[in-house]
Structure 1
């Protein structure tokens, strides 16, 4: 936390967060949120005229209780107050060392969050993007990764949330880090962001490469089909393409249905990236996986020993001779 002003503002945010949690969990306590300059911590070189209002939580059991509360509920309230205090202290400590901890990761940058009660905000930057030379394409890639990261991390940890996209000076998304229970949790959260960010970056690159392959394949197929269409047009003639005359021409001189130049479809294999004709698919009513000439077939690598007729005859003669000697 940079200076005392930031510290005091941040403590005020923590008090608001604490009041929100306690008032939801203990509505019978009827906690009261107060605001005034008397609740602001006084600086050593400051006077009361320069102080800004701050928030405080008032708990007056004899005045505000809405219902009868026994001793066990008061004890639970006290225990939770201690638990929330530990969370606030751990979060304050983590926020103070956020910048130094983020500097250890080459793909992470910290984002200032003055009005956020949690630890702060982190943005994952892909390896192929220079943060100092941003463009519309790089901003789109960064936003895509942040959104995917938030979706994956939120599934297992509620400390992550997606923010950003509304500031006119910085329209890119970022990951907000909420409250933590222990100071060591900060390193765990940053490591999760770094590891999942690299996995997300790799998967998105794979999708982009596959999309580029599909785009090139579609362009090639369109060109091939156009060439085949022109060949069929040249073979059949222009008259067969006219709506009325084509019927007369087909009746007078039917076009061969099994023309070698008949237009065929195309299929794109995502695994190999090859474009193949769909002729076999329509002939056999199924897709055929064409095997590599170097791939093993079912019986490759197996040694089959066959007995010849000569061996069988020899074995049977030997058996007869042995039986005669025995007799």
Structure 2
């Protein structure tokens, strides 16, 4: 059922509309004729409570205003109290928002209103007196600072990115000493340090900034400290590290309980501390509209369904999964995120002309490994990240994915097992890439090696035709046909090697992409097979072309012979015998033996021959031989003997 581009004049029943929605959801799967590989969220009963909350919010919004105000106030106050107790944030207020960046935007507006007294009346003009500065670490999520400046109407010069520590401690933590130096420089330049964004779990590697020292620095220079990150979820556990516990002293922090607890379509929450409710209202952190407070209803229902123990158990389960993988693999570790590279390095000088291209090769191999693992273990939740110092890594962050995908310890064991196999195949493929390249060059010019750095496999080749008298357009078409047929023959081989046309982003088309291989593959034999199959296809094509030409000439000659035979027949038999009725009567009264012989076309000889020899041979084969004539056997009858005799004696 297809969706019409025009709204129907008459309405449709509910069943029809639901069927339409179902078809739209599965439309992509039907077109590709295969099930979707996208990860589907595991919606349990606690998730169903969140979905129910959205329906209830729409229903409750139609209640009487006074009744609605009381109900929404109760829902928001309960949710605020529970979240502050769960995450150890005393005397906090809450702001519920769909976009997890909106809470920080509103916090920035709050700080601007608090630091610029005339901002409420004069607006952005007062910012010209002292330009505000927002500080963020280099490991913050991409585009966050630009989004803040865009929403607040600030120039990008108001954003200061602080490099990470490269000498002491983690290379993904903000350099505190350098931050203090930058703050002093901005103060001396007449600027106003406004707010600092710190991480309790960087988006890439999950590292936590030195929140305790950052808080002391913010207090010293009157900066607002905002903290965000996945590691804030561990504040709900019984035992919390001191580095994470320092986040409870921040001025605000953003929580994302939806991914942590596996709750679909649940809002993010920003906890903050501020004593002036008027400024909070002006910044949009609070609202006087009861309907907006209903955003907390899905989370309110879910938290009640899970309870304190259920919430803690889900977060604890995610940290246990991280520990299980940590015990099996040497990883680049943070508090609660595993980052590792399936292929950290290899000798690129043999494989690429420019060693600067080596990150591309490593990225594609790790990306392919991540995709393969995601398909083999759909509930793993792993993905690829690009870290500044470590390069391309595969990230496993169960706090963000375990509750959503339903990851279990058995899945982690499967990840390790599948990863071990993939690393073996990927390593052997990388080591054989140069051999494949050299062997291909030896078969030149029949085989051409294509340098596709972005292909995570053994290599890419193209069979080249040897025809010299053919024009370029026709040669290109014939070569494309040969490579297409060659790919089909290679795919039909009984082998574990994957042959394909390559990805859509490939720089050259009409090539054969050879996938990953094990170390027991004989690269020389593989290249010989590709070249031999290509030659067979090209030679069979030439044979077909020659045969086509022979048949064409034979047909022309046959037409001439047929025309000549018709003329001879007319001269021999006369005109009257060619008439339909008269000719039949004459042939009956006076039969005529025609001297015109039939013709047959021989594909092997490429010539027209007479059929006289064929029919004479056939006649001799059908004539009974005297020696082959059967002889009657003697029979014994009562009182009489009948001798045997030859059949020709009867004549």
Q: Which residue of 372, 377, 380 corresponds with 1:26?
A: 377
Q: 1:279 offset after TM fit, Å?
A: 5.4
Match of 2:518, SS? coil
Are 1:9 and 2:360 matched, yes or no? yes
Question: Are 2:465 and 2:479, in contact at CA under 8 Å, matched by a contact in 1?
Answer: yes
Counterpart among 381, 384, 387 of residue 39 in structure 1: 387
| Distance in structure 2 (CA, Å) of the matches to 1:287 and 1:3 | 79
1:203 partnered with 2:555: no
Q: Could you say what secondary structure the match of 1:78 adopts?
A: helix
Q: Which residue of 1 aligns with 2:602?
A: 269
**Is 1:85 matched with 2:436?**
no
Aligned to 2:463: 124
Match of 2:511, SS state, is: strand
1:48 aligned residue = none
How large is the Cα RMSD of the aligned pairs? 3.9
In structure 1, the residue matched to 2:409 is: 69
| Equivalent residues of 2:370, 2:384 under 8 A apart | no
- Paired with 2:382 and 2:591, the residues of 1 have a C-alpha distance of 87
1:187 counterpart residue number: 524
* 8 Å contact kept, 1:229–1:263: no
CA pair 66-251 structure 1, distance change in 2 beyond 3 A: closer
Aligned to 2:450: 111
Post-superposition offset of 1:109: 0.9
Give structure 1 stretches of 5+ with no counterpart.
43-53, 289-327
Secondary structure at 2:455's aligned position in 1?
Answer: coil
Residue in structure 1 matched with residue 194 of structure 2 by the alignment: none
Deviates more, 1:142-151 or 1:56-65: 56-65
Supply the distance in 1 between the matched residues of 2:434 and 2:460 (Cα, whole angstroms). Answer: 13
d(CA) in 1 for partners of 2:584, 2:545: 51
Per-residue CA distance 1:54-101 (angstroms, 9 max, x = gap): 86432245661615434xx64453232122112222333333555433
Q: Which residue of 1 aligns with 2:490?
A: 153
- Contact residue 450 and residue 460 of structure 2 kept, 8 A: yes
Counterpart for residue 260 of structure 1: 594
- Larger Cα-atom Rg: 2
Q: 1:247 to 1:126 in 2, by over 3 A?
A: closer
Determine the C-alpha separation between the residues in 2 that align with 1:210 and 1:104: 33
TM-score, normalised on structure 1?
0.64
Cα drift, residue 267 of structure 1 = 2.8
TM-score by length of 2: 0.35
State how far apart, in whole Å, the 2-side matches of 1:134 and 1:9 are.
37
Q: CA 1:85–1:253 in structure 2 vs 1: closer, same or farther (change >3 Å)?
A: same
Residues matched between the structures, number: 262
- Aligned: 1:136 with 2:450: no
Q: Distance in 2 between matches of 1:161 and 1:287?
A: 57
CA offsets, 1:271-313, max 9 Å, x none?
444533445667887998xxxxxxxxxxxxxxxxxxxxxxxxx
Is 1:231–1:261's contact at 8 Å kept on the other side of the alignment?
no
Change (3 A) 1:136 1:237: farther
Task: Say which of 501, 518, 534 aligns to 1:163.
Answer: 501
**Pick from 225, 250, 258: which aligns with 2:583?**
250
Residue 569 (structure 2) aligns with = 232
- Secondary structure of the equivalent of 2:594? coil
